[in-house]
Each structure stands twice: as C-alpha cells, then as structure tokens.
Amino acid sequence: MTAQERKANYDVLIIGAGIAGMYMLHRLREIGLTTRVLEAGTDVGGTWYWNRYPGARFDSESYSYGYSFSKELLEEWEWSEHFSPQPENLRYCNFVADKFDLRRDMDFNSKVTAAHFDDDANLWTLETEDGRRRSGRFLITAIGVFAKPMMPAIDGIDSFKGEAYHTATWPHDPVSFAGKRVGVIGTGATAVQLIQEVAKTAAHLNVFQRTPNWCAPLHNRPITAEEQQEIKASYDEIFKKCRASYAGFMHDSDRRRALQTDAAEREAFYEKLYGEPGFGIWMGNFRDVLVDEEANRTISEFVARKIRERVDDPAIADKLVPTNHGFGTRRVPMETRYYEVYNQDNVRLIDLRETPIERITETGIDTSADAHDLDMIVYATGFDAVTGGYSQMDIRGTGGQALTDKWADGVRTFLGLQVEGFPNMFTLVGPHNAASFCNIPRCIEQNVDWMADLMAKVKADGLARVESTADAEAEWTAHVHLMAQRMLFSKTNSWFTGINSNLEGRDQRSVLLYAGGAPGYRDKCDEVAAAGYAGMVLR
Ligand code: NAP
C-alpha cells in the first residue's frame, strides 16, 4: 500500500471522553475537522464516570469547576452544593454531552491498546481492545492523569472470597456497607472521602494506613437559592480569579510570608483558613509554606494540633499525624468529620508501619500482628499517575520508537503537550503540563483552546505534519525541572513525584508536573503560538 492509499478515517482521533475530550471534540467540530473520540467506558465523564465510590465529590468549588466556554450552559446548569458530589458531577457531564450532541462522534467500549504513527503517510492508526482499527491524521490524548488504577502487590490478593473493589473501578450498581466488616487500604484523598461514608453504616471498619496525610476540613454545604443567583451573576469574576491564580482555583497564595508574620497573626490566619471552605489552607496560604521548610513547619504544627484536638485517643492521633512530609507537600485530602471517625467504636486504625500487611487470605487481611476477618476489601490505593495511562498503551512514533522507551530515563516533553519524535500527537493534561497540577477544567480549557487554534491553522494552511524540535523539548524539560526544584513537594514521595504505590522498581522520584503556575504556563503557550509556533516544525 502506498502512502497515498493509506487514507485517514478522520482528521483527528481523541482518546478519552472526559472533561478534556468532550470540550476538544466540541472545538474541533466548530473548526470543521472530522473527529472521533474513543472511550474505554460506556459513557462520557472520565474521572467522574470511573470514580463513583461513595463520598466522591469535588474538592474545588463546584462553580469554579464547570466549563466556562458557554454562557448558555452556565445559565442553565445549577450546582446543588458548594462541593458537588460525584452523581451530580456525572449528571453534569451527561448534560453537556446532550446539550452539544457530543455522543454522535464518540465510540464507547473502545479502550485504546495501541497507537502507531506512519511516517510516510503522516497518519496515526489506533487499535482498540476489540481489535478494531481507526486512523486519523492527528492524535489528541485526553486521558487525564489517573487513567491507570493501581492494585497493590500483596501476596494472596486474588484469594479473597468476599467483595473487593478498587475505588477507581467502582461498580455501577449500589454497594452497601451496612452491617459488614469492611477493610479500606489507603489513606489518600480518595480513601479519606470514602472512609467517612463507610464508617456511617459498616458493622466494623478497619483502615489500613501506610502513610498518614495532612487532611483539612472541606466545609461543604448546599447552595441556597440566593447564592445560586449570586453565583450566576458573578461567573466572569469567578473565572477571572481562577485565571489569575497559581493553580486555577478560587484561592491564591497570600503575599505575606509565614516567617515574616508575627506568631499571633500567623496563628489567627491559620485558624481562619482552617475554618473556611475548600483549598484555601493549601492554595491560599502564606507564599512561603510550600517552598520553605521552616515556614512549612509552622502550618504543619498547626494542623497537627487540630488533629490531636479532634481525635480522642492520643495514641491514635499520633498515628494520624504525618511525620515524613510537611503539610501540602502531597495533595491535601479534604474531609468532613474524617478525624472524628476514629472516635467511633466501629472503626479501627491499623498502622502498617508498625504491623505491615503480610498477605490477603480467603477471609481477610493478615498483618504481622493480627488476622482481620472481613466481608469486603476496598483498595483506595491510587494510580500509576500521570504517565501510567500512556505506558499502558503501545504508543509508537517515528521509526517505531516506543513512548515508554523515549521516557525510560525520564519524561521529556514540549509544553507538556507534545513529544519530539511523535509528530501530530498532542497530550492534553499531559506530563509537564500545568493542567496536571490545577483545578483541572480551568487548565483543560486553556489546553484545548490552544490546541484548537493550532488545529485551525492546520486546516487553514493545509498542514500535514506538526512536531516539536529536540531543542525545544530539551529546553522545556529543563525549565520544568527547575520549577519543580523550588517546591517542597519534589522532595516528597507521592503521585506528584511518581512514587505512590508498590510500583515495581520505582524508587527514583520523577518530575511529572509543571510547578511554574498556570498563568506562567499560559503565557508560555501563548508566546509559542504568537511566534508562529516557535519550537515546532509545521509542514
Ligand atoms: P493516592 O493519593 O496515591 O493514595 C493511595 C493510598 O494508597 C496511599 O495512602 C498509599 O499509601 C496507599 N497504598 C498504596 N499501595 C499500598 C499498599 N501496598 N499498602 C498499603 N497502602 C497502600 O491515591 P488517591 O487517594 O486515589 O488519590 C489520587 C489523587 O486523585 C489525589 O491526590 C487527587 O489529586 C485525586 N482525587 C481528587 C479528588 C477530588 O478532586 N475531589 C478526590 C479523590 C482523589 P502511601 O502514601 O504510603 O503510598
């Protein structure tokens, strides 16, 4: 077959029908490019489709999370709570899909297993699990940062005879905890949301904690009719605030420094933040707490005191206070009476640092100290985050080079949107992209709008091939590393640095996120575009 004969089925193939894939499709349609979205699930929603465990909800203010691109949509949709729960979030995704008639260009049950670039024809061919192939001139990945859930590597894990679930592949039918002996493994943001729910009805809940996290109160509540009107009237302001902030939230760092603030004033500020809804305590704190260890110690000590105040048994409180990392250097789980759960008679905290899990048996979990009989095990063990979604597909660029080989010694990208040697492929919310450390829809809209401008140019100029140069990639990657070094999170093990689970052989921290802030990132993307896509070759 000659290159001429290898014709594309579509102009663009998108992988993923979550928040990013849905909006990308909408924009590409406006441009007039034929587009197909391939989605592993049975419907739209991405993260809100998969993570349907009880307790799942936004940690961003609902009205700062929804799409901003359609005034009509903003007018029509009403959030019921300040931090909306998963069922409503999924309804929102469905509402958007219906409103913009998105599903007619989507294939569901279509998990992409391979994506290969044909160098002569400038064509991407994608294969799905069912063996079907589709080709497109351009490939846009919209797989998010949590496409690959991680099960822990524990002996005997398949032998358990009771119910077992991973939070990220939660069943569509309701799961009842009532009267059951439930074990939850993990204490990340997911587990913290889930544990609060399980503790309400389970006969007994065992929480298997390896590393405690610094959690902060969410202070969620319903949105009143009056607030609803105010929210609708102030959308421009809300999005403007998000646009100016470091990570796309309604909260941005305080210009004062903890270390230059009088102790009483500092304490009062921490108290205020602890009493306010949402991520203010993380994203709206003194400007030095996430970059300076001494400053960080002041907020860590404050939150530790709060934990001790809220947990009755000092020995249990001790186990819940993190000792190996400072506040905010891992993702802060948001909670509603999480710490009080450990005052309940039906809840037990098992510290795996003292008594590690030895094996899972037919009837429960054996630690080095006890055999815990369980009816249900919930794995809230997280993800092979950021890059796992890419490495689970066989992605090959020019000369058959595998993306996993290209990234074997560390991720390299241009703007977190392109990889040299992988022409015509773009990674929305990819590694090294500000969207991977952001109130994601805010950064998704930036990513998608930038992509849409580029694709409009592709159409107008009849371009066949767009790729970044090795120099541009090296320069961006060095910049991403430099930005990460400033942050305390880069000195901590978590999914931010690629170490969050029993990932085989993963003992080196990686630089996966862009820590230079969303506004700076947006400026850089705009500069590249304004300079005729400097750092990229357009043919
Ligand atoms: P995670 O933060 O990576 O937490 C995984 C947990 O499982 C950790 O406590 C980890 O312990 C534990 N774990 C893993 N393997 C284990 C093993 N073999 N034995 C014992 N414990 C083990 O994952 P996540 O909680 O799913 O959260 C991931 C991210 O999703 C969050 O950081 C957040 O960005 C996002 N999320 C967002 C929302 C929201 O917006 N509302 C809600 C939930 C999650 P170690 O810490 O010791 O590794």
CA of 195 to the centre of ligand 1 (A): 13
In this structure, are residues 458 and 138 in contact, taking their beta carbons and an 8 Å threshold? yes
Residue 60 scores a pLDDT above 70:
yes
Q: Provide DSSP, 401-439.
A: -BHHHHTTTS---BTTTB-TT-TTEEETT-TTSGGGGS-
At 8 the pLDDT is: 83
At 503 the pLDDT is: 60
CA of 250 to the centre of ligand 1 (A): 24
At 4 the pLDDT is: 45
Which two three-digit tokens encode residue 220?
Answer: 């969620």
Average pLDDT over residues 501-506: 61
* CA dihedral for 429, 431, 434, 438, sign (positive or negative): positive
Query: What are the residues whose beta carbons fall under 8 Å from the beta carbon of 224, sequence distance 6 or more?
Result: none
Q: What is the longest distance spanned by two Cα atoms in the chain?
A: 76
Distance CA 434, CA 519 (A): 9
In this structure, are residues 207 and 195 in contact, taking their beta carbons and an 8 Å threshold? yes
CA of 243 to the centre of ligand 1 (A): 28
Nearest CA to ligand 1 atom 35: 189
pTM assigned to the model: 0.97
Question: Does residue 5 lie within any of the structural domains?
Answer: no
> Tell me: the pLDDT tens digits for 324-352?
999 999 999 999 999 999 999 999 999 99
Total domains, the chain: 1
Average pLDDT over residues 252-257: 96
Q: Provide DSSP, 152-197.
A: ---TTGGG--SEEEEGGG--SS----BT-EEEEE--SHHHHHHHHH
Question: Does residue 223 lie within any of the structural domains?
Answer: no
DSSP conformational letter for 258: G
Tokens 């969410």 identify what position? 218
Question: Does residue 238 lie within any of the structural domains?
Answer: no
502 pLDDT band, cuts 50/70/90, is low
499 pLDDT band, cuts 50/70/90, is confident
At 33 the pLDDT is: 98
Average pLDDT over residues 404-417: 97
Which residues share a beta bridge with 424? none
Q: Residue 468's domain is classified under what CATH number?
A: 3.50.50.60
The candidate with the shortest Cα–Cα distance to 389, out of 436, 442, 424, is 436
Distance CA 496, CA 504 (A): 17
At 504 the pLDDT is: 58
At 6 the pLDDT is: 65
SS3 content of the chain, % helix, strand, coil (to 5): 40, 20, 45
436 pLDDT band, cuts 50/70/90, is confident
Question: Does residue 436 lie within any of the structural domains?
Answer: yes
CA of 324 to the centre of ligand 1 (A): 16
Average pLDDT over residues 252-260: 97
Query: What percent of the chain has a predicted confidence (pLDDT) above 70?
Result: 98
Question: Does residue 290 lie within any of the structural domains?
Answer: no
In this structure, are residues 468 and 424 in contact, taking their beta carbons and an 8 Å threshold? no
Question: Does residue 421 lie within any of the structural domains?
Answer: yes
Query: What are the residues whose beta carbons fall under 8 Å from the beta carbon of 3, sequence distance 6 or more?
Result: 118, 120, 121
Tokens 């490939």 identify what position? 139
In this structure, are residues 70 and 76 in contact, taking their beta carbons and an 8 Å threshold? no
Which two three-digit tokens encode residue 120?
Answer: 């002569």
Distance CA 217, CA 82 (A): 13
Question: Does residue 496 lie within any of the structural domains?
Answer: yes
257 pLDDT band, cuts 50/70/90, is very high
Query: What are the residues whose beta carbons fall under 8 Å from the beta carbon of 127, sequence distance 6 or more?
Result: 112, 113, 114, 115, 133
> Tell me: the pLDDT tens digits for 116-141?
999 999 999 999 999 999 999 999 99
At 505 the pLDDT is: 62
User: Which ligand 1 atom is at minimum distance from the Cα of 60?
Assistant: 40
Which two three-digit tokens encode residue 130?
Answer: 């069912």
Most ligand 1 atoms within 8 A of CB, residue of 210, 324, 372, 502 to mutate? 210
Tell me which residues have their CB closer than 6 angstroms to ligand 1: 57-59, 146, 152, 154, 185-191, 193, 208, 210-211, 331, 352, 380-383, 495, 500-502
In this structure, are residues 122 and 463 in contact, taking their beta carbons and an 8 Å threshold? no
SS (H, E, C) 30-49: HHCCCEEEECCCCCCCCHHH
> Tell me: the pLDDT tens digits for 172-208?
999 999 999 999 999 999 999 999 999 999 999 999 9
501 pLDDT band, cuts 50/70/90, is low
Query: What value does the mean pLDDT of the chain take?
Result: 96
Which two three-digit tokens encode residue 150?
Answer: 């991680």
* DSSP H or E run through 485: helix 470-485
Which range marks the domain in which residue 124 is found? Answer: 10-44+102-148+385-538
| Phi and psi angles of residue 176, each rounded to the nearest 5 degrees, phi first | -100, 135
Residue 154 scores a pLDDT above 80:
yes
> Tell me: the pLDDT tens digits for 7-40?
789 999 999 999 999 999 999 999 999 999 999 9
463 pLDDT band, cuts 50/70/90, is very high
At 485 the pLDDT is: 93
Average pLDDT over residues 147-153: 95
Average pLDDT over residues 397-421: 97
CA of 212 to the centre of ligand 1 (A): 11
Question: Does residue 373 lie within any of the structural domains?
Answer: no
Average pLDDT over residues 234-262: 97
